[in-house]
Structure 1
Amino acid sequence: MNDVTLIILYAVIAIAVVGSVAILLLKGRRTPPGTYTTTRDANDQAPLAGAGTDTLEAPPARPEAPAPPAPEPELPPADVEVAEDLTGIEAVPVETPAPVQGRLARLRARLVKSNNALGKGLLALLSRDKIDEDVWDEIEETLLLADLGTEPTTELVDALRDRVKIAGSQDPDEVKQMLREELIKLVDPGMDRSLAVQRHADRPAVVLVVGVNGVGKTTTVGKLARVLVAEDKDVLLGAADTFRAAAAEQLATWGQRVGVPTVKSDIDGADPASVAFEAVKAGIDQEVDVVMVDTAGRLQNKVGLMDELGKVKRVIEKLATVDEVLLVLDATTGQNGLNQAKVFSEVVNITGIVLTKLDGTAKGGIVVAIQRSLGVPVKLVGLGEGPDDLAPFEAESFVDALLN
């Protein structure tokens, strides 16, 4: 091979090498399929882990602006224990509640014997030899201290004064009879005090029991269950007080004593609306006559808790109408009880009052004040700690007991 041939060969090899390098360089600068090259600013996404600084995966199409979130459905979680019968929970012997009429007689006797300053004070004043302006002023003060309210007190005193003046007699027995008649008018025997506890064609009656802390709601539900059982009604209880320790067990014990099952949650702080929902559902499935739902005590000035109570009622109404909303009040709280009643009535539409701790108190006038303010009747009264110390309220019996 001569020199010219070698030169030509070297030239061909050199051209081939240069061409190969150029091709490789061009391939390295080409963007791979499925990615794009970008210069990122502060609004761009950061590169994915393991990706180059300037090369990102192609983003998906930008989604449309999300719709406003739908309101949280008020349906309960499955954390509620539903008893289909009483098997396994009858830890105590089943008792036979006292008949309603016998209970009424005992309550009247207890109120007569109680230290009730209202009736005793009025009778003492009206039994004086001479009823002058000072006596009428004392009568008015006694009524106001008994939480009768300003307007009812004025009505009663004016009516009594007119009748005594017209009769021209200050005989204690006659004046006492006049006082009885005027008090009965104020208590209003014409109000419908019946409980809406009659089963409907396709569902049970539903009773919701509400009130502030410490007034005895759970105890009232238990005692009312005894009243209904004594009337041969099939009852189911719902323990929707999920915040007070042992409240569900307390209610279940009340139910066990009269053979009534209780729907409750074993989870502390469970959604009370869940328990209420499941209790009503169980009542429908088991075809009971009445479902009673106990709720947690709550102060009337706590907006969040009152809203929660409204939710409990709304959730129940997904299944059935709430036939009765009973507000439990402590008779000794006086005018504060009236303020409680107003707020609860706005939130859950109170249909009746249960007045507890009426024995040994001078606050019996709260019966009139509440009924006048809300137009809602006192339907039940409690006069003691005994299991059968709850009975339907009767206007004439109440006044007679006050006046002994």
Structure 2
Amino acid sequence: MGFLERLKDGLSKTRRNFTDRIEELVGMSAKVDEDFLEELEMILLSGDVGVKTTEKLIDAVRQAAKKKEIEGTEQVMPFLKKYIAEMLQDEGQRTRIGAKPTVILVVGVNGVGKTTTIGKLANYFHLFKYKVMLAAGDTFRAAAAEQLQIWGERAGCEVIRHEEGADPAAVVFDAVKAAIARNVDVLFIDTAGRLHNKTNLMNELEKVHRIIKREIPEAPHETFLVLDATTGQNAINQAKVFMETANVTGVVLTKLDGTAKGGVVIAIKEELGLPVKWIGVGEGIMDFRPFEADKFVDALFDGDK
């Protein structure tokens, strides 16, 4: 099964909760009137598209109907597909590997699949012949370094780690030095994910940034925020905290295959102004790819065709 087929399969729950329900509504309504728009609004909200984004989509449909760009309800789905695809397009979606080493900081709360994401990213770039190194900067969570070590071995990458409870900044310092000395292409840095004390998180991330910039002034080149798609709008709230504490450049969305809340992809882009850079649609090491707006929208709207 190719990735597009896995994406279609992975989005099946979201499709049932989102586009399938819109199709049912279209089948029961002849006119794009306020009753139709009210029902459409409820579907979008239940699909975790978010209040702000839902309002924008409803207004776009309303205006298109007024201008006769939409003349019947059967034209609503093609309109939404095109409109959402345009919303999701972002020039910053591609992860560019340029400077040597390219330093990518990975942040997010525990439980979202952060360490697994780093392992899959490492494997992806290793397959494209990049020399990859991992830094086990989450010294707070028990066995985080061991988990990253296993992923590093699986992906054929060296892992820089210290003992549990060590200073994360010391791990990062050693990793950056090693990456420079060993001519590494990409250095992924794992970080602690606790959110119960935002001040601690902010201080720790600031310290990590200082350590990195002392050695490579333009780094980190990217900061990926890992979010769990199954949490829906709660992922937006998590993102807002990390946007305050880290210079987030893009989102990695995991567990899209296990949720009916995949509409959160649209909310992330529209409400946070962040590009979705990578998505995970399964447990396998290959069920992970760069996000492509057109393919995502095709899978969401035409998955069963």
CA distance in structure 2 between the aligned counterparts of 1:274 and 1:193, rounded to whole angstroms: 31
TM-superposed CA distance for 1:141, in Å, is 1.1
Q: Is the 8 A contact 2:226 2:253 kept in 1?
A: yes
Correspondent of 1:143 among 44, 55, 80: 44
Q: Is the 8 A contact 1:107 1:391 kept in 2?
A: no
- Matching of residue 123 in structure 1 with residue 23 in structure 2: yes
Q: Which residue of 1 aligns with 2:93?
A: 193
Helix, strand or coil for the counterpart of 1:250? Answer: helix
CA distance in structure 2 between the aligned counterparts of 1:340 and 1:158, rounded to whole angstroms: 27
Superposed CA offset, 1:169-217 (max 9, x none): 4363x33211211222332x1432011322x2xx300000000111110
By relative contact order (CA 8 Å, sep 6+), the higher-ranking structure is 2
- Matching of residue 184 in structure 1 with residue 85 in structure 2: yes
CA distance in structure 1 between the aligned counterparts of 2:264 and 2:11, rounded to whole angstroms: 18
CA separation of 1:194 and 1:237: change in aligned 2, threshold 3 A: same
Helix, strand or coil for the counterpart of 1:213? Answer: coil
CA distance in structure 2 between the aligned counterparts of 1:140 and 1:377, rounded to whole angstroms: 24
Q: Which moved more, 1:251-260 or 1:336-345?
A: 336-345
Q: In the comparison of the two structures, how many residue pairs are matched?
A: 297
The within-5 A match list for 1:283-322 is 283-299=179-195, 301-320=197-216, 321-322=219-220
Structure with bigger helix share is 2
Q: Which runs of 5+ in 2 are unaligned?
A: none
Q: Is the 8 A contact 1:160 1:182 kept in 2?
A: no
Superposed CA offset, 1:137-174 (max 9, x none): 111011122222223212211222343451564363x3
CA distance in structure 2 between the aligned counterparts of 1:163 and 1:373, rounded to whole angstroms: 22
Give the residue type in structure 2 aligned to 1:124.
E
Q: What's the TM-score, normalizing by structure 1?
A: 0.69
Correspondent of 2:4 among 99, 105, 108: 105
Q: What's the TM-score, normalizing by structure 2?
A: 0.90
Could you say what the CA RMSD is over the residues aligned between the two structures, in angstroms?
2.0
Q: Which residue of 2 aligns with 1:364?
A: 262
CA distance in structure 2 between the aligned counterparts of 1:377 and 1:287, rounded to whole angstroms: 29
CA distance in structure 2 between the aligned counterparts of 1:367 and 1:143, rounded to whole angstroms: 12
- Matching of residue 263 in structure 1 with residue 160 in structure 2: yes
Q: Is the 8 A contact 2:70 2:76 kept in 1?
A: no
Q: Is the 8 A contact 1:252 1:262 kept in 2?
A: yes
Identity %: 47
Correspondent of 1:219 among 88, 113, 116: 116
CA separation of 1:147 and 1:209: change in aligned 2, threshold 3 A: same
CA distance in structure 2 between the aligned counterparts of 1:280 and 1:204, rounded to whole angstroms: 8
Give the residue type in structure 1 aligned to 2:62.
R
Give the residue type in structure 1 aligned to 2:72.
Q
- Matching of residue 252 in structure 1 with residue 139 in structure 2: no
TM-superposed CA distance for 1:299, in Å, is 1.0
CA separation of 1:103 and 1:274: change in aligned 2, threshold 3 A: farther
TM-superposed CA distance for 1:300, in Å, is 6.3
